[in-house]
Amino acid sequence: MAEWVPLQQIASVPLHARTVARCGAAELRHAEFRAHIACWRDAFQARRGHKVALYFDDTAAFAAALFGAWHAGKQVLLCADTLPQTLHWLDATVDGVAGDFPVECGPITPAPGNDAAPATAHWPALDALTTRVQVLTSGSTGAPVAIDKTLAQLAREVEALEACFGAQLGDAAVHGTVSHQHIYGLLFRVLWPLAAGRAIAPRVHFHEDLAASVQGPAILVSSPALLKRIPAGIDWAQAQRGLRAVFSSGGALPPEAAQAARACLGLAPIEIFGSSETGGIAWRQSAQTPPSAWQPLPGVAWRVVDAQLEVASPHLPTRDWWRTSDRVQADAAGGFVLLGRADRIVKVEEQRVSLTALEQQLQALPAVVEARVLLLDGARAQLAAVLCLTPEGVHALQATGRRTFIQHLNAALASSQGAVTRPRRWRFVDAMPADAQGKATDAALRALFRPARPQPIWVRREPALAQLEFELDPQLLVFDGHFPQLPILPGVAQLDWAVRHAREAFALPPGFLRLEALKFQQVARPGLRLCLQLEWLAETATLRFAYHSALGPHASGRVVFAEAAP
């Protein structure tokens, strides 16, 4: 096992033989890493201002830029994406950006060809109290919230993680499916490996890539989003031989998902409970029903006050007690059980509704795997539910139709919820929309109720034939302005949907050649249930599509493709 190096001294101590990052056979040694840090330090020092934002796809490049900015005396802000609204917010918040930002943002770049000599220069240790990073989180409303962290807080947290888990990890390489732009990924995939001397492997996004990338002793830093959806048919034998630990954070892992992960990966995931504000609080490793209680991380004290969890932790800015929004119950073994969020009480027509309780009632139904409930604001507030269904639930939805299926759901809730406190709007998804940390954010859930396209139900899916059905929700964006007094589904949208869904069903060539026999027989209006039939004629590279409903045919045509755009 490599020598432990405090985070303040990562660039100060010359560890020439230590491997910082590994990609296949290529290795980034510590001397070269220090040289990259020096180049970034010089680039940041040449830029006026105090605060810079970082966004990198490559974890090793991110780590060098992070320490370069710190050694240049900059305060660092980590953003989760480079979407236009994020860039607009950053423009008024930081003095510069670096990494994989659009060219028009003018990202800071290190001077080329200057990464050898500076590595031997004197490196003073970082000041743990003045060196800071801000991590953006969406909070409960979706608005950006910057959580300030000192290097001292981060250093204490990685020391706690090493004290708790280090002995079983040894010199394993750190693989991950989560982004380093969030606090969980920053700690587990960047700072902890750098201090412990564990090599950082590139981030992977797919199960197949993960199974192939684990070669030798390894750690997996992942999330419920990936661990709940491990597909069949992947050979995990090599990964099972190498994995020493699997970490998961961003939400509780259902027992059946933990059991499936243990069956595939060879060991039960270690779940980490905490938040951007508090840092890590507790952990558990369980693949049983019900799951075992959460145990505090080293140095974390906790208590229950008014049924809510309070913590005092070296990961917080002060040693004062911090009240979380989590309802908990202590168990006899010194841990605690999570009972849901305390702040998820809403009012619908003056009636109080616990969103957590409603979600639990839905998830208790045989047809439902996972449920999220939210309150949609408007002229009249409405409860909305997003459900992931079991295979039996999907079959029932297809067999009975959306309207009847929702009636069954409402009937199942009727014993505990009045008409006002039951969801009025529903969405059925294969998986909850999640961010890079595997969290189903409020903003992503709300977007499902103002979508550009309807959620399809695949009725038939064969190599050359497919059929799907969907409801034309009046809230679809495609109806905006077309026309205000009598909305109809635009023909261009019908053509777009046909091609999009055909690309999901068939291996279509990339190029578009021409349209043939395009006909629009009658308009499609909100509330209609449309059926789309697709037929792929590979020998002529032609897609046939036809829309129909209970009213009869609506549109049909052929799309001819080519291997490349003409």
**Main-chain phi, psi angles of 345, to 5 degrees:** -110, 125
Q: What is the pLDDT of residue 482?
A: 66
Mean pLDDT value across residues 98-123: 76
Band the pLDDT of 142: cuts 50, 70, 90.
very low
Asked if the model's pLDDT at residue 485 lies above 80, the reply is no
SS3 444: helix
Asked if the model's pLDDT at residue 566 lies above 60, the reply is no
Query: CA 65 to CA 43: how far, in whole Å?
Result: 10
Q: What is the pLDDT of residue 500?
A: 93
- Which position has the higher pLDDT, 271 or 2? 271
DSSP string, 47-71: S-SSEEEEE-SSHHHHHHHHHHHHH
Asked if the model's pLDDT at residue 352 lies above 80, the reply is no
Q: What is the pLDDT of residue 17?
A: 80
Band the pLDDT of 436: cuts 50, 70, 90.
low
Tell which residue, 236, 137, 234, has the closest CA to residue 179.
Answer: 137
Asked if the model's pLDDT at residue 117 lies above 70, the reply is no
Cβ(253)–Cβ(285) under 8 Å? no
Residue with tokens 């906790």: 302
Residues 6+ apart with CB under 8 A from 179: 80, 185, 203, 436, 437
Mean pLDDT value across residues 66-81: 95
Cis peptide before 165 (omega within 30 of 0): no
Q: What is the pLDDT of residue 85?
A: 76
424 is written with which tokens?
């009025």
Mean pLDDT value across residues 553-557: 96
Query: CA 53 to CA 562: how far, in whole Å?
Result: 43
Query: CA 214 to CA 221: how far, in whole Å?
Result: 12
Opening angle at CA 226, ends 220 and 230, nearest 5: 100
Tell which residue, 366, 344, 365, has the closest CA to residue 356.
Answer: 344
What is the torsion angle, in degrees rounded to the nearest 10, for the CA atoms of residue 453, residue 456, residue 461 and residue 465? -50
Q: What is the pLDDT of residue 383?
A: 94
3-state helix, strand, coil in the chain (%, to 5): 30, 30, 40
Stretch among 135-139, 267-271, 444-448 having the lowest mean pLDDT:
135-139
Q: What is the pLDDT of residue 427?
A: 92
All domains of the chain, ordered by start, with CATH?
A: 345-447 (3.30.300.30), 457-562 (3.10.129.10)
Asked if the model's pLDDT at residue 44 lies above 90, the reply is yes
Asked if the model's pLDDT at residue 487 lies above 70, the reply is yes
- Which position has the higher pLDDT, 96 or 477? 96
Mean pLDDT value across residues 262-275: 94
Element (H, E) at 165: helix 151-169
Stretch among 259-268, 417-426, 477-486 having the lowest mean pLDDT:
477-486
Mean pLDDT value across residues 473-493: 82
Asked if the model's pLDDT at residue 300 lies above 60, the reply is yes
Q: In the chain, how many H helices and how many E strands? A: 15, 29
Instruction: Give the percent of the chain with pLDDT over 90.
Output: 67
Band the pLDDT of 408: cuts 50, 70, 90.
very high
Tell which residue, 548, 457, 453, 460, has the closest CA to residue 506.
Answer: 460
Asked if the model's pLDDT at residue 405 lies above 80, the reply is yes
306 is written with which tokens?
């008014």
Mean pLDDT value across residues 208-235: 90
* DSSP 8-class letter at 108: B
Tell which residue, 192, 109, 116, 196, has the closest CA to residue 158.
Answer: 192
Band the pLDDT of 116: cuts 50, 70, 90.
very low
Asked if the model's pLDDT at residue 455 lies above 90, the reply is no
Residues 6+ apart with CB under 8 A from 314: 153, 156, 157, 160, 299, 300
Q: What is the pTM of this model?
A: 0.69
Query: CA 325 to CA 310: how far, in whole Å?
Result: 9
Sheet holding 132-137, edge to edge: 96-99, 51-55, 75-78, 132-137, 145-150
What is the torsion angle, in degrees rounded to the nearest 10, for the CA atoms of residue 312, residue 315, residue 317 and residue 320? 10
Hey, how many other C-beta atoms are within 10 angstroms of the C-beta on 220?
A: 29
Cβ(428)–Cβ(370) under 8 Å? no
Mean pLDDT of the chain: 89
Cβ(438)–Cβ(226) under 8 Å? yes
